[in-house]
Chain A
Amino acid sequence: MLLIKLAFRNIFRQRRRSLLTALSLTGGYVLSVFSISMQDGSYANAIAFFTEDHSGHVQIHKDDYLDRAKIHKTIDNPNAIATILDKHPSIASYTTRVFAPALSYSDDGNTPVQLIGVDVLREKQTSRLYQKITDGNYFADSPNDDGYFSAMIGAGVANSLEVGLGDELILISQGADGSIANDIFIVSAIVGENNSPDKNTVFLPLSGAQSFLTMYGKVHQFSILLTDISDAREVATELQSSIPSLSVAPWQVVESSFYKTMQADREGNLVMLVIIGIIVFIGVLNTVLMSVLERSREFGVLKAMGSRPSKIVSMITLEVTMLSAMSIVLGLALAIPLTYWFSTAGIELPEPVDVGGIKMSRMTGLLTPTVFIIPMIGIFFAAIVVSIFPGLRAANVTPTAAMRSH
């Protein structure tokens, strides 16, 4: 208790110096919080975008379909899987899909496309496909009176084939039984714009795609949305154990290249933060060292009176830690409102960025306890490390020599 009192007094003995040190610590803290909030925020946004746009939080495939897609790697019992998914409390919605490469034809030419067959009703609840329609109507599940299924086509396909709403679209692909799949579809909607990732995609109703590809009742993918994205890994592990015959993957695995890039970028950011921290703490070290040198007479007296060196080290450490604590309180007072504003209002971008066909017009931060706690731990840790050297110096003074100096 005496030690705390002493440390407290020592801080306020040199008010101006303490204030400056505290300000640089506060600045470093606010900067770190803001930087972490911004980075994690933009990643959280990007992740939310693509998972809700198309990938979902968890996906189920047959074997290694994710790495090596082959038309015959199918989930043959989608209803049984659906029963399991329906029971799971963390699952918000799910949908089934089939995929195949195809060639599309119109009277005006041909172009290769990616074919995706989707469950018409479930897709609407699980992905943003419905919101991405720029023209026309969402397709129906059943064929029209002439027996043709409808198709929704990417803007790129529409442009290069010069087909519009109501026009015929011819698709040719290889069926799951090796036969040549060929059929006519009626364009019911245009999806996205000319530069969106879906531009060369043709969406078909699931039943239409299945009969086209001769894979009746089978699907390639389950895409699952959870109530909370942070449960993705956990839910994937749980589902994997209840469905051992298939491969369950959380979005971190599904979008592994994105995830790895993100992790690498985060590490890079961490290195930057550490550098900022080192710069701030060299300043702090300088201050503490100065104050220790100035007070060497005082430490000489303390030692002469019988203070143990460990007490002196503790006192110096306590001084720095308390100073850091005060800076963090000040920093929190500044950072909380700032981060709150950043996470709710965000920064308006001068040019909207197109993410997966969805316009993103503002950049927002992340407001979670972690954002505040990580720099806090960093600062306390650094404060202790930084105070050890001056502390040892103070503790090792020879009383006679120290008392004789000025």
Chain B
Amino acid sequence: MKFVSFLLLFVPLMAVADRDAKSLIDEMEALYRGESSKATLTMKVETPQYSRTMQMESSSVGQQDAFIRILSPKKDRGISTLKLDKEMWNFFPKINKVIKVPPSMMMGSWMGSDFTNDDLVKQTTLTQEYDLQLTETLTEYNITLLPREQTVTVWGRIDYIVNKEHLVPVNQNFYDDEGIMIRKMVFSELKDFGGRIMPSVMEMIPLNKEGHRTVIIYDNLEFDPPDVDESTFTLRHLKSRF
């Protein structure tokens, strides 16, 4: 009995810690999206063999829906990606074809970058699929995410480091089942986007592929833009020429 009450004493505490970690992650994940958002991005893909730069435009509503369209280079112009809830499609204007990304390809590379399709569409909701542990340092929150037993994932652990002052992500480290760090994402260059301070540069570095690196630079980010509404996130819009 005593033991149970001892346990009970801890339950609320743990719950509080858990909710904190959860709300932190949710906040981070929502940072670049808000209720709805529209961004212009530059993506630089660097590998030992090639490097290329793409300009793109992305719109999103909440965590569920996203729409990305490549603006340049000319060869890729118009290639678009639509994510609705847990589904994802790519549209190729040259061949006028919409191709659904199968679940098996979710961990595959998006347009040859070091970002996976899953990174892009956030099909996996971190707070639902992972157990969270929060630790703090003077300036940072360090949230460790461990996959739940039933979670289907390639990651054995994710470290999510958050800047306390601005409440923005600093670092995300991804580990495999053996605890070896496979890739890391670094956030930098804090910038004011319509009143919100957030990192404008995201750098993805796969540690198992030497010389590979993908950098995303937010050139422009607008929240609750007037021209993003439900019609943006439709297959019809995906197929529209522009």
Contacts and interface: CB of A to CB of B under 8 A. Distances in A.
**Bound together:** yes
Interface of A: 72, 105, 170, 172, 174-180, 182-184, 214
A105 B97 contact: yes
Given A176-B49, A176-B50, A177-B52, A183 B94 contact: yes
B47 interface: yes
Contact of A182 (B92, B109, B112, B113): B92
A179 to B, nearest CB: 6
Given A179-B52, A179-B76, A180-B92, 14 more contacts: A105-B95, A170-B95, A170-B97, A172-B95, A174-B112, A176-B49, A176-B50, A177-B52, A179-B75, A180-B90, A180-B111, A182-B94, A183-B94, A184-B95
Contacts of A182: 92, 94-95, 97
Nearest to B110: A180
A172 B47 CA distance: 22
B233 to A, nearest CB: 21
A178 B52 contact: yes
Contacts of A177: 50, 52, 112
Nearest to A211: B75
Most A Cβ at <10 Å: residue of B90, B95, B99, B111: B95
17 contacts: A72-B49, A105-B95, A105-B97, A170-B95, A172-B92, A176-B49, A177-B50, A177-B112, A178-B45, A178-B47, A178-B112, A179-B52, A179-B111, A180-B79, A180-B90, A183-B94, A214-B75
A39 B83 CA distance: 62
A91 to B, nearest CB: 30
B53 to A, nearest CB: 10
A365 to B, nearest CB: 50
A177 B112 CA distance: 8
Contacts, number: 44
Given A170-B97, A184-B94, A214-B75, A179 B49 contact: no
A42 to B, nearest CB: 43
B95 A180 contact: no
Nearest to B76: A179
Interface string B100-130: 0000000001011100000000000000000
Contacts of B94: 182-184
Contacts of A172: 92, 95, 99
A166 B97 CA distance: 20
B117 to A, nearest CB: 12
A180 B112 contact: yes
A179 B90 CA distance: 13
A369 to B, nearest CB: 51
Nearest to B214: A178
A260 B37 CA distance: 63
B113 A178 contact: yes
Contacts of B97: 105, 170, 182
Interface in B63-101: 75-76, 79, 90, 92, 94-95, 97, 99
B92 A178 contact: no
Contacts of B90: 180
Among all A-B residue pairs, the 4 with the closest Cβ atoms: A178-B112, A72-B49, A182-B92, A177-B50
A180 B99 CA distance: 12
A72 B112 CA distance: 13
Contacts of A176: 49-50
Contacts of A178: 45, 47, 50, 52, 109, 111-113
A105 B100 CA distance: 14
B95 to A, nearest CB: 5
B104 to A, nearest CB: 14
Contacts of B76: 179-180
A104 to B, nearest CB: 11
B95 A175 contact: no
A185 to B, nearest CB: 10
Contact of B112 (A175, A183, A184): A175
Interface in B168-214: none
Contacts of B75: 179, 214
Nearest to A178: B112
Interface string B15-55: 00000000000000000000000000000010101101000
A214 B75 CA distance: 9
A14 to B, nearest CB: 80
Contacts of B92: 172, 180, 182
Nearest to A171: B95
A180 B80 CA distance: 12
Contacts of B79: 180
B152 to A, nearest CB: 25
A93 B21 CA distance: 69
Given A178-B45, A178-B112, A214-B75, A183 B95 contact: yes
Contacts of B112: 174-175, 177-180
A247 to B, nearest CB: 18
A180 B75 CA distance: 10
B112 to A, nearest CB: 2
A381 B95 CA distance: 72
Contacts of B50: 72, 176-178
Nearest to B46: A178
Contacts of B95: 105, 170, 172, 182-184
A176 B94 CA distance: 18
Contacts of B111: 178-180
Contacts of A170: 95, 97
B82 to A, nearest CB: 15
B50 to A, nearest CB: 5
A180 to B, nearest CB: 6
A269 B59 CA distance: 71
A183 B76 CA distance: 11
A343 B135 CA distance: 84
Contacts of A183: 94-95
